[in-house]
Copies of this chain bind each other. A is one copy, B any other.
Amino acid sequence: MRPAIPADPVPNPGIIFDTLLAHQRSAVLRTAIELDLFRAVGEGPADAATLAARCSTSQRGMRILCDFLTIIGLLAKQDGVYSHTPTSALFLDPRSPASLHSMARFMGLAEMTSSYDRLTEIVRSGRTVLPGTGSVEPDNPMWVDFAHSMAPMMAPMTGPLGRIVLQGRTGPMRVLDIAAGHGLFGIEIAKQNPEAHIVALDWERVLEVAYANACVAGVGERFERLPGSAFDVDYGGPYDAVLLTNFLHHFDVPVCLDLLKKVRAALKPGGVSATLEFVPNEDRVSPPMAAGFSLTMLVTTAAGDAYTFRQLAAMHQEAGFRQIEAHPVPNSPHTVVTGIAE
């Protein structure tokens, strides 16, 4: 991940212009994806006129778009010919198996970004301007999009999370995957342990995406669907492991605590809870991506936050967990926090 911009020791107005114009970067990347430019560049290095023809745009617009993408490091330019950088080839060309194309499209959707036009109002009130509880309204259709789109971002984290959860656990086991989304975390457990049975909990339409992914991965027969709200449905159980991925950050501490108590009650003694989260350091301003995630929660939820390990550990402890540990996921802004049910 990119390091934080350090506070310049001498006054530098450049950072102010850079910040005021930063929105241009997001717009340019979103437009390049909408025009399928990274696929067009992948067809072979080309000048602006050729790329304009491939993407059915004006030449003036394409030249200025490609120059800007070069300035921000997402294309290369040599003698007027544009080509992929290593990053754009691997992560933005839709033909790359590691492409983050769909995720980038999701993150650029107007419903994800338009609230920032009202950020002043949000800071004043301290909560989202989205209807109701924001992104965690029951059956919010954005989570179907999320399940479809964010899998490429989460895929590299499934292996590490699976190994952390399964450490020393073999043989038949039941695993509850709360807010399963794309389902990839439970699916990974099922793949690593052929005797694991997964119960995936999410909104019904989201579970359709997860179940399809499970079938493609060959674990559909061990993938059970439990539709509804994590706060309302009976979890069943008892479980050997509960996955709680990218979920706690949507809620305030008392709500998280209630949920963790419900999770603990559904676990066998000695069972493990595994929470995947953006976990900032105790200073709350580093590392930049995990710490900056609080802003997304301010804008999209009523009371969510990126919690520090100290906060998460305190919640787990109060909910009846012991051996609470943080496992940073390599090359990612995420951390897995595990606790053992007493």
Contacts and interface: CB of A to CB of B under 8 A. Distances in A.
Interface of A: 1-2, 4-31, 34-35, 56-65, 67-68, 70-77, 85-87, 89-92, 100, 104, 107-108, 110, 113-114, 116-117, 119-120, 122-127, 283-286, 288-289, 291-292, 294-298, 303, 305, 333
A59 B127 CA distance: 11
Contacts of A108: 20
A67 B288 CA distance: 10
The copy count of this chain in the complex is 2
Given A20-B107, A60-B303, 18 more contacts: A5-B71, A10-B86, A11-B89, A12-B86, A13-B91, A15-B73, A21-B26, A24-B296, A30-B120, A31-B119, A31-B123, A60-B305, A61-B125, A61-B298, A63-B284, A64-B123, A67-B291, A77-B284
Contacts of A28: 19, 119, 295
Majority SS of interface residues in chain A? helix
A2 B16 contact: no
A27 B119 contact: yes
B2 A14 contact: yes
A124 B58 contact: yes
Contact of A124 (B17, B30, B61, B89): B61
Contacts of A303: 60
Given A19-B29, A110-B117, A298 B60 contact: yes
